[in-house]
Amino acid sequence: MNKVEICGVDTSQLKTLTEEKKRELLKRARAGDTKAREEMILGNLRLVLSVSGRFNPKRDSADDLFQVGCVGLIKAIDNFNLDMDVRFSTYAVPMIIGELRRYQRDNNAVRVSRSVRDLAYRALQEKEEISRREGRDATITELAKRLEVTERQVGEAMEAIVEPISLFDSVWGDGEDKMFVIDKLADSEDPDESWVESISLKEALGKLNERERSIVNMRYYKGKTQMEIAAEIGISQAQVSRLEKGAIDKLRRYM
């Protein structure tokens, strides 16, 4: 049940090890026991699966991400200091993430300079730290001040690492009832159809309640995130997500 094959590995059968067992295997591996090293690798594949699952599968296949994550795991096993009073996973996770980020950086479809990409990652780390500590999104001004660069440099760096969008990426919908990016492109050869659709959309928006219209306006016309909307109108991000989905369903129904 729930079996998924990644690199020929049945993920439902992945083992887990206790912290005590991990330390025992690491000690044996340090002494040259290759079987203990192999058992340590196999016993931590679930950790690799968990970390690689955070990365975008649209850009890189799950198999590729898993294999690169395994490289990070092996480096963590070979370099972990047993004298440190920390859990192995605490050390291994950043190593795996680092390996995956390097892989994506070096295999990006759009080539971005190392300095720009490093600035973007530093900005993301600062942004995550502010979000975790203060429960809000950081402003460009804050990030620029913390990183001692200009706001323009931060903005350009953040834009540089945004993944390119395919014309055939799904915008919303499930199964056969999907809308793709290419469907949203304007057709200059048929302005009358666009005009009719505009009127239809305006009428459909009038069927929404005030909060739903406000959320649709902020999301699709002002480009705000669900977190930003939640902070502005004083509800949770989950509530914004539910209201947005309900509003889109209503629009589709009315149109």
Query: 238: which 2 tokens?
Result: 């989950």
Question: In angstroms, what CA-CA distances link 222 with 102, 149, 168, 218, 225?
Answer: 33, 27, 24, 5, 9
Q: Scan for tokens 């804050």, then name that residue.
A: 142
Q: HEC string of the chain?
A: CCCCEECCEEHHHCCCCCHHHHHHHHHHHHCCCHHHHHHHHHCCHHHHHHHHCCCCCCCCCHHHHHHHHHHHHHHHHHHCCCCCCCCHHHHHHHHHHHHHHHHHHHCCCCCCCHHHHHHHHHHHHHHHHHHHHHCCCCCHHHHHHHHCCCHHHHHHHHHHCCCCCCCCCEEEEECCEEEEHHHHCCCCCCHHHHHHHHHHHHHHHCCCCHHHHHHHHHHHCCCCCHHHHHHHHCCCHHHHHHHHHHHHHHHHHHC
Domain boundaries, the chain: 5-106, 114-160, 170-254
The pLDDT, as a whole number, for residue 196 is 54
Nearest to 179, CA basis, from 189, 169, 188: 169
Domain 5-106 falls in which CATH fold? Four Helix Bundle (Hemerythrin (Met), subunit A) (1.20.120)
Beta strand 5-6 pairing with 9-10: antiparallel
Q: How far apart are CA 121 and CA 118, in angstroms?
A: 5
Q: Which residues contact 252 (CB under 8 A, 6 or more apart)?
A: none
Looking at CATH, the fold of the domain delimited by 170-254 is given as: Arc Repressor Mutant, subunit A (1.10.10)
- φ, ψ of residue 30 to 5 degrees: the values are -65, -30
CB-based contact 55:97 (threshold 8 Å): no
Q: What is the pLDDT of residue 1?
A: 41
pLDDT of residue 175: 53
- The CATH code belonging to domain 114-160 is 1.10.10
Residue of 233, 189, 193, 192 lying closest to 215 (CA atoms)? 233
Task: Output 33-39 pairs: Cβ under 8 A, ≥24 positions apart.
Answer: 37/77
Residue 125 has what pLDDT?
A: 85
CA 90 to the chain's CA centroid? 20
Q: pLDDT below 70 — which residues of the chain?
A: 1-8, 56-60, 106, 108-112, 162-199
Are the folds of 114-160 and 170-254 the same? yes
Report the chain's C-alpha Rg in angstroms.
Answer: 24
The answer to whether 79 and 99 have CB atoms below 8 angstroms apart is no
Give residue for tokens 């605490």.
Answer: 90
